[in-house]
Amino acid sequence: MGPLIPNGVITGDWDFVIALIIGIIFGFLLESSGFSSSRNIVGVFYGYNFVVLRVFFTAVIVAMVGLLYFDYFGWLDLDKIFILPTYLTPMIVGSVIMGFGFVLGGFCPGTSYTAIAIGKLDALVFTVGLFIGIFIFSETFPLFQDFYYSGYLGNVTLTDVTGIPAAWFAFAFTIIALASFWITMVIEKRVRKNITEYKF
């Protein structure tokens, strides 16, 4: 009965071995899908390469639907899993800042690790930037400590907030994602007509 480690089915000593293996698979999937290239990643914003959208949305809908089936079959207890806590305003502000960082840097932390692995110097610089950024944050933390903890809604799920069962969100999101796949296929064709390179 999942989740295995919190339920004691697998002891905690395996924790880090499992983390390593999961990370390896994650990194492999990221790199082989094209996320080790910053120009591929930002293509989603300019319309010439929607790989980020395809991989990301597909992963989310597969995971959402899969988790619901796992819960239904009794393999996984969805009440016991970690739900990201919601701090409304800081998260919105943080996401805006991350948006800027994303477009400027062309990476996010996970993808930058894979890009470093294949030799991209800009990814290394990006990761150094991450380090500096977090350091700056922790040094200036007392200034906005209250803001950091504001807007706390708890470890809430979409269902907790709206009362709509999770399956509806999964279904709605699936429809939106699938529609976006077809639409972006058309957009990609049009944008790529004007440029020569779009896959890096």
Partner 1 sequence: MEINNRDNNRPHYINPYLGGVLLGLLVIITVYITGRGLGASGAVKSAVVTTAEAITPAHAESNPYMSKFTGGDHSPMYNWLVFESLGIFFGGLLSGILFGRLKKIRIEKSPKITNKTRLIAALTGGILFGIGSQFGRGCSSGAALSGSSTFSLGGVIVMLVLFGTGYAIAWMFKKLWI
Partner 2 sequence: MNKNYIFLTILMILLAAGTLFLDNRKDNYQIKPEVLLYEIIQPTRYVTTDQVAKMIIDKDPTLELIDVRSPEEFDKFSLTNAINVPLDSIITAGSQDYFGLPGVKVVFYSNGDICADQAWVLTRRMGYKDTYVMKGGLNRWIETIIQPKEPPQEAPYTDFELYQFRKGAQIYFTGAEIESTQVKKKSSVKVRRRKKTVTASGGC
Q: In the range 25-54, which residues lie near partner 1 by CB under 8 A?
A: 25-34, 36-39, 42-46, 48, 50-51, 54
Q: Which positions ≥6 away from 28 have C-beta within 8 Å? A: none
Q: Residues 174, 188, 191, 198: which binds partner 2 (CB under 8 A)?
A: 174
Residue whose entry in the numeric block shows the structure tokens 């907030």: 161
Size of the site for partner 1 (CB under 8 A): 130
Q: In the range 127-186, which residues lie near partner 1 by CB under 8 A?
A: 127-139, 141-142, 145, 148, 153, 155-161, 166, 169, 181
Task: Pull the structure tokens for residue 177.
Answer: 């994602």
176 binds, among partner 1, partner 2, none (CB under 5 to 8 A by kind): none
CB of 72 to partner 1, least distance (A): 13
Do residues 148 and 90 make contact, with C-beta atoms less than 8 angstroms apart? yes
**Does 103 interact with partner 1 (rule: CB under 8 A)?**
yes
What are the C-alpha distances in Å from 9 to residues 2, 15, 71, 157?
A: 8, 12, 17, 26
**Does 5 interact with partner 2 (rule: CB under 8 A)?**
yes
**Does 2 interact with partner 1 (rule: CB under 8 A)?**
yes
Do residues 50 and 44 make contact, with C-beta atoms less than 8 angstroms apart? yes
In the DSSP assignment, the letter for residue 8 is T
Of 5 and 88, the one with the shorter C-beta distance to partner 2 is 5
Q: How far is CA 164 from the centre of its chain?
A: 23
156: left (phi over 0), alpha (psi -120 to 50) or beta: beta
Of 23 and 183, the one with the shorter C-beta distance to partner 1 is 23
Q: Residues 14, 80, 190, 200: which binds partner 2 (CB under 8 A)?
A: 80
Distance CA 149, CA 178 (A): 36
Residues that bind partner 2 (CB under 8 A): 3, 5-6, 61, 64-65, 68-69, 71-72, 74, 79-84, 155, 166-168, 170-171, 174-175, 178, 181-182
